Amino acid sequence: MKRSFAGLTDTGLVRSVNQDAFYIDDPEGRFFIVADGMGGHAGGQEASRIAIETIEKYLVECWKSSQKTPDLLKEAFLKANQAIVDDQLDHPERSDMGTTAVAVVFRDRNHPWCAHVGDSRLYRLHKEELTQITEDHTWVGRALKAGHLTVEEARKHPWRHVLAQCLGRQDLQQIDLQEFEVQPGDRLLLCSDGLTEELSADEIGPNLQLKLSGGEAAQKLVNAAKDKGGRDNITLVIVTLD
pLDDT mean over 218-226: 98
DSSP label of 167: B
Q: pTM to 2 decimals?
A: 0.93
Checking if the pLDDT of 148 tops 70, the result is no
What is the pLDDT averaged over residues 2-15?
A: 97
- Rounded CA-CA distance 128/150 in Å is 23
d(CA 101, CA 175): 10
**Higher per-residue confidence, 209 vs 62:** 62
pLDDT at 159: 60
Model confidence over 107-141: pLDDT tens digits?
A: 987 789 999 999 999 999 999 999 999 999 886 76
Q: Which residues of 7-25 are buried (b: 16+ CB within 10 A; e: fewer)?
A: bbbbbbeebeebbbbbbbe
User: What pLDDT score does 173 carry?
Assistant: 87
Task: For 160-188, write each residue's pLDDT tens digit.
Answer: 677 889 999 999 988 999 999 999 999 99
pLDDT beyond 70 at 145: no
- What pLDDT, on the 0 to 100 scale, is given for residue 61? 98
Confidence of residue 40 (pLDDT cuts 50, 70, 90): confident
pLDDT in tens, 74-116: 999 999 999 999 999 999 999 999 999 999 999 987 789 999 9
User: What's the number of CA atoms in the CB half-sphere (13 Å) around residue 54?
Assistant: 26
Set out the domains of the chain in order of their start, with CATH numbers.
Answer: 3-241 (3.60.40.10)
Confidence (pLDDT) at 210: 87
Separation CA 171–CA 95 (nearest Å): 14
DSSP notation for 173-232: ---EEEE----TT-EEEEE-HHHHTT--HHHHHHHTSTTS-HHHHHHHHHHHHHHTT--S
